[in-house]
Amino acid sequence: MAILVTGGAGYIGSHTCIELLNSGFEIVVVDNFSNSKPKALETIKELTGKSFGFYEADICDKAALQRIFAENNITEVIHFAGYKAVAESVQFPLKYYHNNVYGTSVLLEVMSEYKCKKLVFSSSATVYGIPESVPVTEDFPLSAINPYGRTKLIIEEMCTDLYGSEDDWNITLLRYFNPVGAHESGKLGEDPNGIPNNLMPIILKVATRKIPELSVYGNDYPTPDGTCIRDYIHVVDLAKGHIAALKHMKSGVHTYNLGTGKGYSVLEIIETFKRVNNIDVPYRIADRRAGDAAECWSVPVKAEQELGWKAKLGIEKMCEDAWTFAQSKS
């Protein structure tokens, strides 16, 4: 018996693979390296001392997925594979709908064909759009405001419809807030292909002098320092959330926020990074970006009550581990 991890060479997927292997699970990984690197798989083996099955394949390739299921006794799936850059999704929406939505529909078809009906899905807080208030609970209205967020929302609805037609499915939807940090060894972290889109990878680019400065998009929001506030969660805490979800799977479709329940502004993140790591991060104030919410942070109480999971690592540890990883690469 094994757990199939789609996108297992990616940032969150690779850290989750480590936690799965360290918890005694057998895994099979599928990844096409569109936004990941083969080296991550070797690092997982190095850090855990364990091996696992791997297939280089695309989730849109039904025949490839059928082969994976035919060759392995897959009992559960953790589904990370998907494009995730908001700006790129606005520029290339069909690319996102094809890969994220169609790819997931293919995966679900193959899972159903092989009677594998336990799924943990990597969703996102983007499904809340611009929340009318904070903090955000799982029963808030859903209103994604960009193609990336809409693909996550469509997949959530797809899962709900699927359970409505086949009530033997066990589906857990995990809505992530903002994952940052890296494995404490410094050997595994966020290493996107191409230009990074998220705050921490850009901070790391500036800190390692690969780009001259960071753009802070807007300082006139109705927040204490005028910059946007988000809920940042250490990627290792996030990975452990998937283990908790696997151990508490039950019939139906169940949704959980995975965050810390605390909000930090862009400037707070920058200043914390500078203080913890004793390094300068030059930045400039730029115009607001369209669609950015002033505040978005979570209420993760449901995950604590039902899954027994709670984030334990603070913002200082997130900044410290991210910098350790960046230094190991430079």
Active site positions, annotated: 148
Q: Residue 275 and residue 107: Cα distance in Å, rounded?
A: 44
Q: 195 CB contacts (<8 Å, ≥6 apart)?
A: none
Torsion of CA 136, 147, 102, 88, to 10 degrees: -120
Give the closest residue to 29 by CA, choosing from 21, 17, 45, 37: 17
Residue 244 near residue 309 (C-beta atoms within 8 A): yes
Residue 34 near residue 260 (C-beta atoms within 8 A): no
Give the closest residue to 115 by CA, choosing from 191, 152, 78, 166: 166
**Please, what's the b/e burial string for 162-185 (b: 16 or more CB within 10 A of its CB; e: otherwise)?**
bbeeeeebbbbbbbbbbbbbbbbe
